[in-house]
A = this chain, B = another copy of it.
Amino acid sequence: MKVLVQKFGGSSVADLECMKKVRAKVLDAVAQGYKVVVVLSARAGQTNKLVEMAYQWSDEPNPAEYDALLATGEQESIALFSMLLNDAGVKARSMVGYQVPVLTDNSYGSARIISIEAGHFLSELERFDVVVMAGFQGYSMENRITTLGRGGSDTSAVAIAAALSAEIGTVDCHIYTDVDGVYTTDPRMVPKATKIPKISYDEMLEMASMGAKVLQIRSVEFAKKYKVPVWVRSTFTNDEGTLVTQEDESMMESVMVSGVAFDKDQVRITILGVPDQPGVSAALFAPLADHEILVDMIVQKASREGITDMTYTVSHKDLKRALVYTEKVAEEIGAQGIEYDDQVAKVSVIGVGMRNHSGVAAIAFSALHKANINILMISTSEIKISCLIHANELEKAVRTLHTTFGLDGE
């Protein structure tokens, strides 16, 4: 059996006209001899409407019932879409989370998939040409409806592809979005950005976490774990899109840097005059973690006379709370004071090629220096170099690095 998974988001199935366009994509795949698994989100706006209703009913909606309510959104879209397919003479049926079943844990609102029963699903694929599956939702061992959290439909699609792959060999997963693939950087900022034909899971993870919001991070982690080939494609074109797949020799040889990502949502907080004693970092970051404040970059200045500065970044939404806890700790540990700067941004170059090519960092720093861009903080990983810079220099920095690493298109 030749199976293809196609996932369409909420804006692709917003109304009847949109759904008809999506149907054309599915009919194409059927005509090519595929048994097709279509994974759908709720129609655009529907989930927000349900969330609004929940909060009209309750200031703090019961989490399990909240999920049961939200799950009606995909049930609606998959039933309507299956009607359209049947009208086109295709044998199709819908399946909500418990019908698959997609077994999850009990973390309502952000449930994790435990397993997907592929056997029953395959027998339904024998009886039907297309199975239209509800994204975003699952079913817990306690016989309750769960949801995977916003954007969870990507994860649903990759997960069903993974489950089917284990039974019948590699099943490709096509994620349809409103862009036609993954770009070397944001084309709205750099018009010379080019589409990347092939990218590794690790690079995609770095790109996604940096704000290239094409794929939900969890879905990429899932794809990586189960080696599911994921194609990012556009609902509105016939372009091949970008293949997200395992890293291979050819990829590592060809390019040092695959893309330049950036993140405007950064605030830098500095604690001045920190006594350089063991345990100081823990004292500072433990309360932030306890209050679920995500710290991104961390830098500790070289100590001078037993005194140092600690600098870290958080997102704008966490600034106020971060300042409260940081001030408290600063006082406790006898620091001289704190200051913050919300006019900063992060630029990163990403590429598995860095593993084999030394000097990528040096090239990046030198290019920024030549462009008169001041680097405020640096952090590096095996396949990424990130620099914090002044926000008003971000665009120049992205363009500079994009050109420097030979990513500019025509």
Contact = CB atoms under 8 A, between A and B. Distances in A.
A80 B64 contact: no
A93 B80 contact: no
Contact of A93 (B57, B96, B144): B144
B80 A69 contact: yes
Interface of A: 16, 19, 50, 53-54, 56-62, 64-66, 68-69, 71-72, 75-76, 78-80, 82-84, 86-87, 92-94, 96, 98-99, 120, 124, 143-145
Nearest to A59: B87
A375 B145 CA distance: 59
A68 B78 contact: yes
B56 A83 contact: no
Contacts of A145: 96
Contact of A65 (B60, B69, B79): B79
Contacts of A68: 75, 78-79, 82, 94, 96
Contacts of A86: 58, 62, 65
Contacts of A59: 87
Contact of A83 (B65, B76, B80, B120): B65
Nearest to A69: B79
B16 A56 contact: yes
A83 B71 contact: no
A58 B84 contact: yes
Chain A contact residues: helix, strand, loop or mixed: helix
Contacts of A124: 143
Contact of A64 (B54, B65, B93): B93
- Counting from the closest, the 6 A-B pairs by CB-CB distance are A69-B79, A72-B72, A62-B86, A68-B79, A58-B83, A65-B82
A241 to B, nearest CB: 28
Given A75-B75, A76-B69, A144-B93, A83 B98 contact: no
A57 B78 CA distance: 12
A265 B93 CA distance: 40
A16 B144 CA distance: 24
Contacts of A54: 80, 83
A83 B99 contact: no
A60 B84 CA distance: 10
A87 B65 CA distance: 12
B76 A72 contact: yes
A67 to B, nearest CB: 8
A112 B57 CA distance: 33
Nearest to A77: B69
Contact of A98 (B69, B72, B98, B144): B98
Contacts of A120: 143
A270 B92 CA distance: 48
Contact of A82 (B60, B62, B80, B83): B62
A72 B77 CA distance: 11
14 contacts: A16-B56, A54-B83, A59-B87, A62-B92, A65-B79, A66-B79, A68-B78, A68-B96, A69-B75, A69-B83, A72-B75, A96-B145, A98-B99, A124-B143
